[in-house]
């Protein structure tokens, strides 16, 4: 029985997935990796699979943080957990209607293009429905790793749910659906 092929790239949501979610964080000193982030990323890198970050940063669009603040936080995430081959940021507020803001597929498609990987051979790992929806809209695989903020309905409709980032990566590396 054959499953889904291993992804050629894995893209991670930032806040709540790779690092502890600090709402509208513009301070690199407040970045704290999630417990399973480093081992999960090591597994992918050992398998030769490039990784990236996708992050909605509506605090920029709302005027709560600057783009330089968001970039400084991303640089700290990259220092602690990287290197990432791509980091994509949507700086828009939810009302802007931009194509990059998750759950829309823009960041997934742009990251896949930058990595030279077809979207359908890309996977997205995140903690909320918008991450799963962005992956689906781009034709990518999705794995939901729930946290305290994940709604039951998001868990119920996610195609794949795993308890930890390590379990999510094990699933993706196994090539099983």
The catalytic residues are: 13, 15
Query: What Cα–Cα distance (Å) separates residue 143 from each residue in 12, 63, 100?
Result: 10, 31, 19
Taking phi over 0 as left and psi of -120 to 50 as alpha, with beta for the rest, 24 belongs to: left
Query: What Cα–Cα distance (Å) separates residue 138 from each residue in 13, 81, 102, 120, 123?
Result: 15, 25, 11, 8, 10
């Amino acid at each position: 029985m054959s499953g889904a092929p291993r992804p050629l790239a894995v893209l991670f949501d930032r806040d709540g997935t790779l690092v502890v979610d600090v709402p509208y964080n513009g301070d690199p000193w407040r970045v704290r990796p999630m417990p399973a982030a480093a081992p999960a990323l090591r597994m992918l890198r050992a398998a030769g699979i490039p990784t990236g970050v996708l992050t909605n940063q509506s605090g920029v669009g709302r005027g709560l943080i600057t783009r330089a603040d968001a970039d400084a936080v991303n640089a700290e995430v990259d220092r602690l957990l990287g290197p990432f081959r791509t980091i994509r940021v949507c700086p828009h507020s939810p009302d802007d209607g931009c194509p990059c803001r998750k759950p829309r597929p823009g960041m997934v498609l742009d990251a896949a293009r930058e990595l030279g990987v077809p979207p359908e051979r890309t996977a997205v790992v995140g903690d909320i429905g918008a991450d799963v929806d962005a992956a689906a809209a781009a034709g990518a695989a999705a794995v939901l790793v729930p946290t305290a903020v994940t709604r039951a309905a998001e868990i119920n409709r996610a195609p794949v749910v795993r308890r930890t980032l390590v379990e999510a990566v094990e699933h993706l590396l196994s090539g099983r659906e």
